[in-house]
Amino acid sequence: MTFRNGLASLLRPEDSVLVLIDHQPYQLANVNSHEPQMVINNTAGLAKAAKAFGVPTILTTVIAERGGLLFPQITEVFPGQEVIDRTFINTWEDRKVVDAVKATGRKQLIIAGLWTEICVAMPAIQARGEGWDVTVVTDASGAVSVEAHQVAIQRMIAGGVNMMTWLAVAAEWQRDWARIDQAVALTKVITEHAGGSGIAYLWEQQLLNTPVPR
């Protein structure tokens, strides 16, 4: 196995492309590996982080006519963008999706979706085998059981796929807080979607802006 380490192995916004797969009502109804609202929150946070860093994001569903539309928390981040609807369970067998990814010219492929064991694992394993640098965002994905999620992660790791959480992806894109423009945008995402960290930041701002009593 080729180990993923060294500075060059870290994610870079200019080399990243994000694919969000099948965040739809039908799939969410049987997500049991995570609290469903947390999956929605984390995926929205990931989508907003991608937009903040200018990372191209491909949106795709499977038979949306029956499974439902992509969560509005995602499509609202990319108003007017086409959502590619597929019949293939494996996204990486859909030529339109693959062509859209290739058109970005990026090689760091980041994937999140429902369900982890099926609609995430299949494209991740195939793309990795074809030479892509693949990262799966585990907490913006979900499976029908905790076991299914964990086994899928083990299977993908064995295939050379990298695993991260959404906030770790955002931090790796940021890399340096001196990148002020991105830092301001990322701070807004953290405030909205990073739970206690966002609340702590708002509290910090409150304290900094509270006059010292005389």
Tokens at residue 105, please? 């010219």
* Residue of 119, 127, 153, 169 marked active site: 119
Phi, psi dihedral angles at 158 (to 5 degrees): -60, -25
Of 50, 47, 23, give the one whose Cα is nearest residue 37: 23
DSSP secondary structure string, 78-121?
A: STTPPEEEES-SSGGG-HHHHHHHHHTT--EEEEEEB-IIIIIH
Q: How many CB atoms lie within 10 A of CB 164?
A: 19
| Nearest-angstrom CA–CA distance, 105 and 108 | 10
Q: How far apart are CA 9 and CA 177, in angstroms?
A: 20
Distances in Å between the alpha carbon of 73 and those of 97, 156, 172?
Answer: 21, 27, 23
Please list, in sequence order, all residues whose beta carbon lies within 8 angstroms of the beta carbon of residue 211, skipping any fewer than 6 positions away.
Answer: none
Residue 110, SS3 per DSSP: strand
- Cα atoms in the 13 Å half-sphere on the side-chain side of 123: 29
Active site residue 119: yes
Of 105, 188, 117, the residue nearest 147 (C-alpha): 117
Q: What are the residue numbers of the active site?
A: 119
